[in-house]
Chains A and B, each alone.
Chain A
Amino acid sequence: QKEVEQNSGPLSVPEGAIASLNCTYSDRGSQSFFWYRQYSGKSPELIMFIYSNGDKEDGRFTAQLNKASQYVSLLIRDSQPSDSATYLCAVNKNDYKLSFGAGTTVTVRA
């Protein structure tokens, strides 16, 4: 079983719609959760992190965490073409190691 699993996509959404990305993880001891955005040919950029169950909002982004279900998601509201990228879910057990999913590719259609 992979430590962190994501649907590879591509996830295609029309401009202005909500993009919903999902991530599941296998280690119940995981404590902190991250979403990185990676444009083609570029390095990952941290966009959200969440530590507690529930929702965390930052601008058009909302991260949702459910530790009981071992599930973390990212919602992108009012999707823009500039949101087209690969989104990486990463999980940490409060040591120095992040475990990454393979990423979900999002395409926003103008």
Chain B
Amino acid sequence: EAQVTQNPRYLITVTGKKLTVTCSQNMNHEYMSWYRQDPGLGLRQIYYSMNVEVTDKGDVPEGYKVSRKEKRNFPLILESPSPNQTSLYFCASSFAQGLGTEAFFGQGTRLTVV
């Protein structure tokens, strides 16, 4: 089954404790992205990757890191989480950009930073 898998689904952590949210896709997609979803703000892009070892900042990259060492994986790293990073996070993947390119989303990771 074609899918984007995120782990964990739920995470509660304390301020300053480094964490990693994993994302894996089995569709051989070139593009992968991370979004955060907050009430009234919709989905805002954090980082994106066009292929292995190629990443760039989205709209809200502060406080986050990513890496793309393999095509299928795109982990999101919070080196020193803060309460304002409490949010619902989604990973997405798609084929190379172009008209009609559908983005496939994971089921989300709800992060709470206390």
A, B bound: no
List chain A positions with a Cβ less than 8 A from chain B: none
Residues of B within 8 A of A (CB): none
